[in-house]
Amino acid sequence: MDREKFYKFVEELVGELNTYVFGPIYDHLEQNPSIRESLCPAFPFPKTIRVGLLKDCLAVEYIGPEVKDSEQFDIEGIYEPNQSVFDFLGIQIAHLHALNLGCQSNVMDASVFVGDSIDQLCDYFYDFTQIPSDTIMLNGYFDFSKPTEPTVVSNHNLFWTDESGALKIKHIDFLEIFPRKDGDVYYHSKDSFATFAQAILKTHVPKYQIRLHEALNKFIELINLSGTGETDITSFIEATPELLQIAFGTHNINPQIKLQWQYETEDNDLKPDFLIERMDGYCDILDFKLPYIKSKPIVGIPSRRQPSFEIDSAIAQVTKYKEWCSQVINQKWLEGDKGIKVLHPQKYLIIGHSDEFSADDRQKLKLSRDVTVLTYDEFIEMVRFQIYRIR
């Protein structure tokens, strides 16, 4: 199949999938809504479909979550006859000494960890008991890059570390792989599409026992990914406020509230990550910084220990928020305009790992800078403790 024929095939595939696969799944779901909780989240209508003509196979990846009440989805054709299916999926593990478990006809509900991924996740008390997988494999992976027969991969997680040691994660909702034989490409016929639709309906994904376990694991994955920024972290917490609420016993978390100065000043308006509301109705200040700090947090000779520039900058930022909150005119505006009350708020910073801060160093920061430093592994353990309490 040359490039022109491939893209024509991709264009025609949209209509065929809608007619023979997605439509029947949608109709069945309407009649049997209870199957939604165990149906692959990419169906009936995926968010995106990626179709790749590759070195040894034709691959079709269905990416969820499904777009509710819409039959429109993005479809991407990738003509790369020199690439493997791992290249197509963005999985680069050739540099790792991992056990190749070979190819099998189907890979279902499996999670595999290669490289140093297991160590990085364990640093944050990653809850492996809550992975929705029937199979968990350490330092081994399923090699479906050279299939000899049609292969389905469903609900598959691969964790690995790249050449710089950064954590990488690939989740596959649903993937079809068809082997190429003598340069030809084989795919569904119109008759086999109906069988395909029935197979999807029968391919159930396991449910998480507790939704918050899933959210916490996703948070751990996020903070371990290279390229994750502070806004990614705060956006995740904003979308899953229960993590912050149960860790601190707070009510509203008040994310990204713009604090406007109520008198003439050259200072810019401020926007703390969260103003977390205590039981008494008043709010404290909480900011998330990155989980990996660039240097030692406390520097200097033993008799003159002080925060590093990175830590001092973070402290200065939350101190500026408290300065704003100390002004009565600002307090009255915040309560009147936003319904948020502040009075002598506590300052919290979540940053780094526990082994980077000694108890003595953090006590000195509390006394000298009036700030409570919590590390990510401590925050995660606070959340996990409360999850187990309410289990």
* CA proximity to 61, closest of 72, 49, 71, 53: 49
Pick the range with the lowest mean pLDDT from 85-89, 185-189, 237-241.
185-189
- The residue-averaged pLDDT of 316-330 equals 96
Give Rg (Cα) of the chain: 26
Architecture of domain 215-390: 3-Layer(aba) Sandwich (3.40)
Q: Has residue 260 got a pLDDT over 80?
A: yes
In three-state secondary structure terms, 212 is helix
pLDDT band at 131 (very low <50, low <70, confident <90, very high): confident
Distance, C-alpha 224 to centroid of its chain: 10
List pLDDT tens digits, range 36-49. 888 998 999 999 99
Q: Has residue 389 got a pLDDT over 70?
A: no
Whole-number percent of the chain with pLDDT over 70: 96
- What's this model's pTM, rounded to 2 decimal places? 0.80
CA distance 133 to 154: 10
Q: Are the C-beta atoms of residues 63 and 171 closer than 8 Å to each other?
A: no
Overall size of the chain counted in residues: 391
CA distance 295 to 164: 18
Backbone angles phi, psi at 330, to 5 degrees: -70, -40
Q: Are the C-beta atoms of residues 42 and 22 closer than 8 Å to each other?
A: no
The packing angle between helices 359-369 and 309-325, to 10°, is: 40
List pLDDT tens digits, range 153-162. 999 999 999 9
**Where are the domains positioned within the chain?**
3-207, 215-390
The pLDDT score that the predictor gives to residue 69 is: 65
Which residues are 180's β-sheet partners? 185
CA distance 276 to 333: 18
List pLDDT tens digits, range 137-150. 888 999 998 888 99
